[in-house]
């Protein structure tokens, strides 16, 4: 990562399947350590209790002025970021 940026957040994965809805929601094929596999036409929602990232709160309670998102993806995707 570029030295002028500081990492703020990691996507968190559940340790057990019964707690998965607190971390991930949607129609995804399966998850493995550190990754999620999504079939064509399926989706992954990270707007959950443990993975929600509120830019409004970061801008309100910190000195952050810009945000850069880094994702490691393979394939074709449509990404939606909501404010």
Phi-psi region of 67 (alpha: psi -120 to 50; beta: other; left: phi over 0): beta
| For the chain, counts of helices (H) and of strands (E) | 1, 4
pLDDT digits over 42-54, tens only?
Answer: 898 988 999 998 8
Task: Take residue 8 and report the two structure tokens written for it.
Answer: 């703020």
Assign 33 to helix, strand or coil.
Answer: coil
Cα–Cα distance, 51 to 13 (Å, whole number): 9
pLDDT digits over 18-39, tens only?
Answer: 998 999 998 887 777 667 888 8
């Amino acid at each position: 990562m570029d030295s002028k940026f500081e990492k703020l957040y990691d996507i968190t994965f559940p340790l057990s399947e019964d707690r998965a809805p607190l971390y991930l929601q949607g129609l995804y094929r399966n998850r493995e350590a550190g990754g999620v596999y999504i079939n064509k036409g399926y989706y992954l929602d990270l707007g959950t209790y443990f993975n929600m990232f509120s830019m409004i709160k970061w801008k309100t309670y910190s000195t952050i002025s810009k945000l850069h998102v880094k994702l490691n993806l393979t394939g074709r995707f449509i990404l939606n970021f909501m404010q």
